A and B are shown apart, each in its own frame.
Chain A
Amino acid sequence: MTAPGRDPVPAPAAKSAQFSSTRRQFLRGLGLVGAASVCPPLTTAATANPANAKPSHPDLEEYGRDPQPVILQINGQTHTVSVAPRDTLLDVLRHQLNLTGTKSICEHGACGGCSVLWDGRAVPTCLCLAREAAGHEILTVEGIADDPRFAPLIEAFCAHDAAQCGFCIPGFVVRAAELFLQGERMSTEEVQIALSGNLCRCGTHAKIVTAVTAALSAGAIA
């Protein structure tokens, strides 16, 4: 998997005065805010020097079941976490790093609620072993929320009232962020297909699709 790179991302558009909700309020509504900022992860190494962030593939040479320290790059920060070989990335994000925006819903790869960007591609973390994530750039919904590049996308979710209960929304935001990074304008139908790996039990797909389509076309103009 190759990272799409960050260049094609449009500069954040000026905040529209049309709606008053801020990105933070939006996320607070989703119960996303706080985890990363309030409870610091167990170990957070400095991120300034990319050389330090040298992605080392886990070098266990044999079978094992005991936790081992693994270096993960998450939301631009380097975390050293103690990971058992069978721990999923979802477990580690939620239970060790307190990044609970990534939702555990079906744990079958069926709903997309646990998606994160893995080198720029949305993947279901319930099916990923955390050890395999070493050496890859992981961006969770918290990282997306804190990154001003994605502000127009998140504002579109608010403007189009895309959330009902909101439980599925982090997964949709992550997948939409992947599309947003690709910087392509897409038709409603193309967006529907692109979001087909995400399910919303409240059935607010129509509004989600509208929001994402709008954000992508605005993004493409910027």
Chain B
Amino acid sequence: MRAPQTFEEVDVFFPDTLDAALIAQADPNRRGRVLAGGTDLMVQWEAGVVPLPPRVISIKHLPVLRQIEENPGMLIIGAGVTHKQLRASPLVRQYLPSLAEAAATIGGEQIQVMGTIGGSVANASPAGDLAPSLMVAEGDVVLASVRGERRVPVTACWTGYRQIDCAPDELIVRFELTKMPAGYCEGWRKLGPRQAQAISKIMGSFRGQLTDGIITDFKVAVGSVAPTCIRLYELEQWLVGKPCDAATCNEAETRARAGVHPIDDIRSTAAYRQWVTGRMIRSFLQTLEVK
């Protein structure tokens, strides 16, 4: 089938229910490119940087995807929840504070009303601002298809540059994320050319616990330094059991720099990103010490 040349040749489907969407996605001849908030896809199509899909299935209006709920250990966030909802939700602010902070730095206010968590994850950009906070929270991405539901750990959902572990007939329906336990703290840092409407040169989140001056748990994820957002597992292991002091900060900064292998691209250089990764770890450890 010839690829559409203009938007006028694209067929669009607005399913009334999630089931209708899943049934369409199950059929290779009816399956469409999934459109949620449109903040990535509409721009890519408009700019002509990706080929137009023959069919588009628009799911943003489905209310079933827009809930935020909790159970004792987890926060359950629908895939259609917008960045604005994330930053405003008391549940997210309490239990996934770095996710709320990250959502508040995406685009400008108008973009935050449009863009969704599911769309951001599915877009799988290494510069996706929600990724680091999801990676340190841990939990599952829940995918649905007519075959049933499938869970993928959020730390393993991105399989390569702009690749996500999601079969062609599956839709991301929700995220089940581990709440930040009492006595822990989280932090978020983003570096871009300006404060708003900027794509990150580098960004990261941490979740950690300090007990009597000793780091008892530490998770850190950094984006825009690799084909996907990455956890710095080796550094995390090294940090646990160390005192949160100047010597640890210095050593952690060096180790963090050595642990990432970013590239030069339109937004920044490898050298700068490597250097900032180190500074970011230092800043996270200082946050942990203060909080």
Q: A residues bordering B, Cβ < 8 Å?
A: 1, 57-65, 84-86, 88, 107-110, 112, 115, 118, 121-124, 126-129, 131-132, 175, 193-194, 196-199
Contacts and interface: CB of A to CB of B under 8 A. Distances in A.
Interface in B81-127: 84, 107-114
Which A-B residue pairs are the 4 nearest by beta carbons?
A197-B108, A196-B196, A85-B12, A63-B11
Contacts of A131: 12, 14, 58
A109 B107 contact: yes
A109 B60 contact: no
B107 A197 contact: yes
A132 B60 contact: yes
Contact of A199 (B11, B195, B197): B197
Interface of B: 7-14, 16, 20, 24, 30, 32, 35, 37-39, 42-43, 46-47, 55-56, 58, 60-61, 84, 107-114, 195-197
A85 B109 contact: no
Given A86-B7, A196-B195, A196-B197, A107 B46 contact: yes
Given A63-B11, A64-B12, A65-B9, A129 B196 contact: no
Given A86-B7, A197-B197, A127 B43 contact: yes
A123 B32 contact: no
A1 B107 CA distance: 19
B12 A123 contact: no
B114 A132 contact: no
15 contacts: A57-B14, A58-B14, A63-B24, A65-B12, A109-B107, A112-B108, A118-B113, A121-B84, A122-B113, A126-B42, A131-B12, A175-B109, A196-B196, A197-B110, A197-B111
Contact of B111 (A86, A118, A124, A194): A124
Contacts of B35: 129
A128 B114 contact: yes
Nearest to A108: B43
B95 to A, nearest CB: 22
